[in-house]
Copies of this chain bind each other. A is one copy, B any other.
Amino acid sequence: MAAESEAQRELQYEQTLCQRFFISKVGEDWVFLILLGLVMALVSWAMDFAIATCLQAQKWMYGGLDTNVLLQYLAWVTYPTVLITFSAGFTQILAPQAVGSGIPEMKTILRGVVLKEYLTLKTFVAKVIGLTCALGSGMPLGKEGPFVHIASMCAALLSRFLSLFGGIYENEARNIEMLAAACAVGVGCCFAAPIGGVLFSIEVTSTFFAVRNYWRGFFAATFSAFIFRVLAVWNKDEETITALFKTRFRLDFPFDLQELPAFAVIGGGDGGDDDDVGGGDGGDGSHGGDDDDGGVVVVLLVMVVVMALVMAVMAVAAGHVGSHPSPLPRIASGFGGALFVYLNRKIVQFMRRQKTINRFLMKKRLLFPALVTLLISTLTFPPGFGQFMAGQLTQKDTLVTLFDNQTWAKQGLSDEFEYLGILEAWRHPRSNVFVTLVVFILMKFWMSALATTIPVPCGAFMPVFVIGAAFGRLVGESMAAWFPDGIHTDSNTYRIVPGGYAVVGAAALSGAVTHTVSTAVIVFELTGQISHILPVMIAVILANAVAQSLQPSLYDSIIRIKKLPYLPELGWGHHEKYNVRVEDIMVRDIRYVTLNCKYRDLQHVLQGTKMKNLPLVESAESMILLGSIERAQVGALLSHQLSPERRLQALRRKTLSLDRHRLSDASICFQCHV
Which residues from chain A sit less than 8 Å from chain B, CB to CB? 25, 28, 30, 34, 194-195, 199, 202-203, 206-212, 214-215, 218-219, 222-223, 225-227, 229-230, 233-234, 236, 239-243, 246, 248, 251-257, 292-293, 296-297, 300, 303-304, 307-308, 311-312, 315, 488, 517, 520-521, 524-525, 528-531, 533-534, 537-538, 541, 544, 569
Report yes or no: A211 in contact with B218, Cβ–Cβ below 8 A: no
Partner among B206, B242, B304, B520 whose Cβ is within 8 Å of the Cβ of A195: B520
Report yes or no: B311 in contact with A222, Cβ–Cβ below 8 A: no
- B contact residues around A315 at 8 Å (CB): 25, 28
Report yes or no: B533 in contact with A525, Cβ–Cβ below 8 A: yes
Distance A199 CA – B304 CA, assembled complex (angstroms):
25
- B contact residues around A233 at 8 Å (CB): 257, 296
Report yes or no: A521 in contact with B296, Cβ–Cβ below 8 A: no
Q: Which residue on chain B has the smallest CB distance to residue A258?
A: B240
A543 to chain B, nearest CB (A): 12
Report yes or no: B210 in contact with A208, Cβ–Cβ below 8 A: yes
Distance A26 CA – B415 CA, assembled complex (angstroms):
54
Report yes or no: B207 in contact with A208, Cβ–Cβ below 8 A: no
Q: Which residue on chain B has the smallest CB distance to residue A293?
A: B234
A30-B311, A214-B517, A248-B251 in contact; A488/B209 too (CB < 8 A)? no
Can you list 6 A-B pairs, Cβ within 8 angstroms, ordered by A? A207-B210, A208-B209, A222-B538, A234-B293, A234-B297, A242-B253
- B contact residues around A257 at 8 Å (CB): 230, 233, 240-241
Report yes or no: A206 in contact with B211, Cβ–Cβ below 8 A: yes
Report yes or no: A218 in contact with B517, Cβ–Cβ below 8 A: yes
Report yes or no: B525 in contact with A226, Cβ–Cβ below 8 A: no
Distance A28 CA – B248 CA, assembled complex (angstroms):
40
Distance A219 CA – B203 CA, assembled complex (angstroms):
15
Distance A538 CA – B254 CA, assembled complex (angstroms):
28
A527 to chain B, nearest CB (A): 8
Interface of A is mostly: helix
A522 to chain B, nearest CB (A): 11
- B contact residues around A297 at 8 Å (CB): 234
- B contact residues around A243 at 8 Å (CB): 530-531, 533
Distance A307 CA – B248 CA, assembled complex (angstroms):
32
Q: Which residue on chain B has the smallest CB distance to residue A541?
A: B219
A580 to chain B, nearest CB (A): 18
Distance A531 CA – B246 CA, assembled complex (angstroms):
9
Report yes or no: A534 in contact with B241, Cβ–Cβ below 8 A: yes
Report yes or no: A226 in contact with B524, Cβ–Cβ below 8 A: no
Q: Which residue on chain B has the smallest CB distance to residue A573?
A: B28
A233-B257, A537-B194 in contact; A215/B517 too (CB < 8 A)? yes
Among A34, A206, A240, A242, residue most surrounded by chain B Cβ atoms (within 10 Å): A240
- B contact residues around A199 at 8 Å (CB): 199
Report yes or no: B211 in contact with A211, Cβ–Cβ below 8 A: no
Distance A206 CA – B213 CA, assembled complex (angstroms):
12
- B contact residues around A517 at 8 Å (CB): 214-215, 218
Report yes or no: A528 in contact with B528, Cβ–Cβ below 8 A: no
Partner among B212, B222, B242 whose Cβ is within 8 Å of the Cβ of A541: B222
Q: Which residue on chain B has the smallest CB distance to residue A314?
A: B30
- B contact residues around A208 at 8 Å (CB): 208-211
Partner among B239, B246, B255, B541 whose Cβ is within 8 Å of the Cβ of A240: B255
Report yes or no: A256 in contact with B240, Cβ–Cβ below 8 A: yes
